[in-house]
Structures are given as structure tokens and as C-alpha cells.
Amino acid sequence: MYECRCPNDGKMLARLARPPLSELRYVHLCECGQRVEGKVRVEALTKRIVGQADCPCGRSRTKVLGYLVAVKCRRCGATIQF
């Protein structure tokens, strides 16, 4: 479990099962046998976290890794995207 904390006072706001955006990685085993490390990005309209791996052989793979969560602190009003 990962904790989401307020940046101002350090108070715990939520516990989530997936790691924060900064720690997300996407590694894909291509059909040609190579391990390809992909890029992790956030789609703004759907708020999905997507991993995309482009292999040197020409194949491309896209996978939804999760969804963006926004948590707002009740005290200070800061919004944290997790």
C-alpha cells in the first residue's frame, strides 16, 4: 500500500494500491524476444495512465496501467494527483 500525504503538513490523505506516478514503470516482452522499457504518460481527457512500448523491430504495445486520482486536503485545499 502506498500513502498519499499533504505536501504542506504531511497529514495522510489516502492509501492506494498502486505506486505514485513518479515510480510507475512499464516493461514489455516483445514477440521478437526483446524486453522493451516503455514510456508512462497520462491522457488528459480520460485521466488514464497509459504505458507505451515501442520495440526496435517495429512493433508497438499500449496498455492501461491505472487511472489518475486527485485527492484534496481538507485543511489547506491543496490538490495532489496520485
Banded model confidence at residue 7, pLDDT cuts 50, 70, 90: confident
Domain of residue 69: give its range. 2-81
Query: Cβ(50)–Cβ(43) under 8 Å?
Result: yes
Residue 53 bridge partners (DSSP): 61
Number of structural domains, the chain?
1
Q: What pLDDT, in 10s, does the model give residues 18-48?
A: 888 888 899 999 999 999 999 999 998 888 9
pLDDT digits (tens, 9 = 90+) for 56-82: 999 999 999 988 888 888 888 888 888
pLDDT score of 35: 94
- How far is CA 10 from each of CA 6, 14, 15, 41, 44, rounded to the nearest angstrom? 5, 12, 14, 27, 27
Q: Is 90 exceeded by the pLDDT of residue 17?
A: no
**Per DSSP, what are the bridge partners of residue 49?**
42, 66
